Structures are given as structure tokens and as C-alpha cells.
Amino acid sequence: MSERHLFGIIDDLRSDIASLKEFFRIARSGDLKTSELVSRLEYVLSEVESDLDLRVRLCKYLPSIKRRRVAYKELYTRILFNLRQHRQSIYLLYMVYELISLREKARENVTYRRFLDLADKYVDSLTEALNMPTDLLIIVAPQSEYASLPILSKRAFIVMLPPTNLAKPWKWVLLSHELGHLYFQYYRERILIRILPAIEEELRDVVRDEEQVKGYVSLWGEYWLQEIVSDIVAVSLCGPAYLKMLITEATEPKPAQVYGAHPPLDARALAQMTYMKFTGAPDELMLIMERVWREFRNGVLEMDSLPDYLNEEIVRRVSWLTLFESHL
């Protein structure tokens, strides 16, 4: 048993922190949002650095308990677990740095800078409509696809869109789905407590194997429910425009097929239209949504129905329960 491996890991983490500090110093710019995000992330680095000092002291304490093998291994493992968490935090900060760099690179172009400023204002207005905390820092960054990265410990949230879509403001409605993920994260426990038991109840009517029921409930809780709730947030903010752009972006020839973390496009569209109908949306708006979906779906060769574990009854019930759970 030796502590040198722990000291080696700590030295490596300190080296990474020093590099990140320099990267963030370079990334700081005249853009207020970028500078504010960098400040919050630099504080994270300072916190990690301070904790590493504590880990060093604990490592130095280890030799004094080496004869107590169980106690030694317990403390060694606890230190290692903590260092692993710091490693993951540093990986996350590297990802954020890359996103900041892409944002600043785009801002070098006058036209893209204007579009980024407008996109920032757009997501701020959507966040305000969701009644999210006012101290949240929401920042838009270009990336390969629509996605989001929460840093909720520092009240920051990055929403991403393809660089090619910066100059397509009509597609920015897709950012509302990413803000839906933020909404879900803030109310996750309450949403799961209210909706998952109902999903399980519905599953037991169509899936007989108990282990399969547990597996599907787990998938709903981990992935599918969040995606459908995020779609409902998006359609509540942007109406038929969101559904239309989702169809455009998904480019899906098999709308009844499940793709890992994402429910089928059929289920997502059904959830949106069901929710809007439950809210009492005007007939004209519902006709637009139904027409948009029908024009797309009727042209697709595949007419398979949704799988039992994501069937229409489950989707409709999720939409109904989201209506009563939400603050939308």
C-alpha cells in the first residue's frame, strides 16, 4: 500500500487546474455573458483547488493508520472517490471552455455576433416565461447539434445549436426544448413522484413480465419522460412552430421507432398535441398542429404503431399529468 499514486493524481489535477485557469483567462472577453460564466467557473476551480489541499493533508495522515488495514483502505478509497469527482468536474470545465471558445470564435464575425446577441435575448425571454430563478445565467453556444449542458451548482445553463442555425432564427424554437430540460431538472423529483407511478400502472396493463416492467419504468424515469416533458415545455412556449421545426430537424423516416434516450417522433408529436388540447388551446391553433403533423406523417411509408411500453395511452396520460404538474 502506497500513497504515491494519490499524490500523483493530485499533482496531475493541479496541473489541469492551472491550465484551465489560463484558458479561462484568455477566454474572458468584452461579452458580459461570457465573462460572467468564466467568473463562475473560476470560482469552481478555486473550490477544487482548496479541496485538493485537504486531500493532501489526508494523504499525509494515511501512513499513521497503515497498520489498521480496514481504516486505511476506507480512507484511501474515500480520497480516491473524491479525486474522481474532481476529475469529472475538470472534464466538464474543459467541455465548457471548448463551447466558450466556439462562441467567441463566432463573435469575431459581426453578423454572427449580432445573431448570438439576439439568441441570448431570445432564450432569456423564454426563461422568464418559464418563471425560472432570475439569477440563472443562460448562455447560447454553437455546437454540432441542439443540446444543453447544466452547471446548476453555479446557476448556469448552456444551450447549444449548430453554427449553421445561428443565421436561421426560425429554428431557434428548438432551443425551447433545451430549456425544457432545465425546467425538468429543477422540478425533477416532483415530476417523477407524480408521473412515474401512473406510467408503471399503465405498463402493468400491457407488459406481463415484472422485470420488463421495472426496466421500462427505469427508462421512462431516466430518459423518455424528460424528453416528452421538454417537448411539452417547448410547445407551450412556441406552439405549432416547435412541432414543425422538430419534424424538420428530426428528418425521421421511422417515426414509430425508439432511439435509446429519445422516444419515437410519433410519441413526441402525440404528447404535444394532447397537451395543447388539454390546455384548451384555440381550435385554429390545434388545426394548424394537426395539419402540420398529418402532412408529414401521411407521406411516410412506415405505419407501425408505437411499442407497448410507449403506447398512446401512456403518452396521453403523461401529457395530462404534466398539465396538472406544470407551472406553464
Position 1 pLDDT exceeds 80: no
- Going by C-alpha positions, the residue among 134, 92, 14, 26 that lies closest to residue 6 is 14
Q: What is the pLDDT of residues 98-131, one digit of tens each?
A: 999 999 999 999 999 999 999 999 999 999 999 9
User: Smallest Cα–Cα separation from 140: which of 245, 31, 249, 227?
Assistant: 31
Instruction: Answer whether 309's CB lies under 8 Å from 207's CB.
Output: yes
How much of the chain, in percent, has pLDDT values that exceed 90? 90
H-only helix segments in 187-264: 188-206, 210-219, 225-238, 240-250
Q: What's the angle, vertex CA 127, arms to CA 126 and CA 131, rounded to 5?
A: 115
Res 323: pLDDT: 82
DSSP state of 311: -
Residue 327 confidence (pLDDT) above 80: no
- Compute the distance between CA of residue 180 and CA of residue 232 in angstroms, rounded to an integer: 8
More confident residue, 305 or 118: 118
For residues 123 and 146, what is the distance between their CA atoms, to the nearest angstrom? 13
DSSP 223: I
Q: What's the pLDDT score for residue 153? A: 86
Look at residue 2 in the predicted model and tell me its pLDDT.
Answer: 81
Residue 45, pLDDT > 70, answer yes
Rg of the chain taking only CA atoms, in angstroms? 24
Q: Please tell me the predicted confidence (pLDDT) of residue 324.
A: 67
Q: What percentage of the chain exceeds 70 in pLDDT?
A: 98
Burial of 129 (0-12, 13-18, 19+ CB in 10 A): middle
Cell digits for 223?
A: 430518459
Q: What is the pLDDT of residues 180-215, one digit of tens each?
A: 999 999 999 999 999 999 999 999 999 989 999 999
pLDDT at 325: 66
For residue 263, report the phi and psi dihedrals to the nearest 5 degrees. -70, 165
3-state secondary structure of 139: strand
The pTM of this model reads 0.91
pLDDT band (50, 70, 90) for residue 304: confident
Phi-psi bin for 131: left (phi > 0), alpha (psi -120 to 50), beta? left
